[in-house]
Amino acid sequence: MSILKTVSRGTAVAVLISAALAIPQAASAKTVIRVQSVIPTGADEIVMLKDFGEDVKALTDGEVVIEVLPAGAVVGVQETLDAVDSGLLEGGFAWTHYWSGKHPAAMLFGSPVAGAGIGIDNIAFMSWYLNAGGKELYDELWTEMGMNVKGFMLQPAGPEALGWFKEPIETMADFRKYRFRTPPGIPGQTYKDIGVASVAMGGGDILPALEKGTIDAAEWCCPKPDSVFGFQKVLKHYYLQGLHQVVVNADLYINGDVYRSLTPLQQKALEVAANASLMKSMAYRINENGIALDKLVNEDGVILHDTPDDYFTEYMAAAAKALEQNAAENPFFKKVWDSQKAFAKTAVPYWAQAQRTNANLGEAYADTLKKQ
């Protein structure tokens, strides 16, 4: 081979490489996951959901984008999970106990009534979920429900307030005078079991129902989300201590086919962002609820009350009965509840004792503020 031919071929290769480098490279494929919420876009939960979305976008270098849609944008609130299952929506955002009609065990993840009847608060629940088999059972739930869904727990919120009333309630007899908005599923049914006129409805329907007189009293969540909804505009008597949702978690649902189409790294990014959201949500809520409660009481004329003593005994007894009945009727419900009970046997005695220090410390400081 001559030197000329060698140089020519070398030049040709160099030209081809240069040409290839000059061609704009195709952008990485982007996956947009439209997530329809079951609540209005102004709610605190949507603020935190969008923050989660920003984490996912950053962790995937912009390859996975979470687009939040308001309630009813594509389907009705009650059709949200079915739309994710079918692929009509790539994602949904709600509380898993909303789907208790599809499987009673959904309640044990979204809102285990009265702390699952075994003394679990939201921090202890996170320990069970992340460290004692809860996440694996949560994944199993969707198979039990026949749903093509991958779920991610994002936002713990409990303990939730008992709720808002027109007049003070001193006994359960006073409570039973009111038509009371409750969450769906077993927590709401337990109110019916103790004689309260429980009316289940979505978050966006509560304030209009109060203004129209369809209901007389209501619960939603906690001081900040409640004040965003505007309860203080129509009701002034507020009770913080409630048992129906001592533990409550808002979740993201992704269509199973969409989730499986993601790369392993993108799937891990969703998991990491979801786990981060659990802690970020707790931090957000403590601060925001404290600020909101101070404003409700000191600026908006809301009167804070202690919940009547007979509420606790009546509700706990009814909740225990409902849990036992569902465990007897549904094997997977029993499997999940047995797991929670096994965890609680050692975790709750420790955590309850440890929490006394925190409660006493906080009460002592709160008392000094009252004297100022």
Positions at the binding site: 160, 181, 219-220, 245
Partners of 305 in the β-ladder: 239
Contact residues for 228 (Cβ-Cβ < 8 A; gap 6+): 42, 43, 44
CB atoms within 10 A of CB 121: 17
Residue with tokens 């809102």: 111
CB atoms within 10 A of CB 136: 10
CA contacts within 13 A on the Cβ side of 325: 10
Phi, psi of 72 (to 5 degrees): 80, 5
Fill in the amino acid letter for 282: M
Q: Where does 176-308 show beta strands of DSSP type E?
A: 179-182, 197-200, 217-218, 237-239, 249-255, 303-305
Give the Cα separation of 305 and 327 in Å (integer).
35
- Alpha-helical segments (H) within 60-121: 80-86, 106-110, 113-114
DSSP 133-191: SHHHHHHHHHHHHT--EEEEEEEE-PSPP-EEESS---SHHHHTTSEEEE-SSHHHHHH
Give the Cα separation of 99 and 297 in Å (integer).
35
Structure tokens at 94: 């709600």
Strands 303-305 and 249-255, bridge-based pairing:
unpaired
Residue set of the binding site for substrate: 160, 181, 219, 245
The torsion angle over the Cα atoms of residues 261, 266, 267 and 270, rounded to 10 degrees, is -130
SS3 124: helix
CB-based contact 252:91 (threshold 8 Å): yes
Residue set of the binding site for Na(+): 220
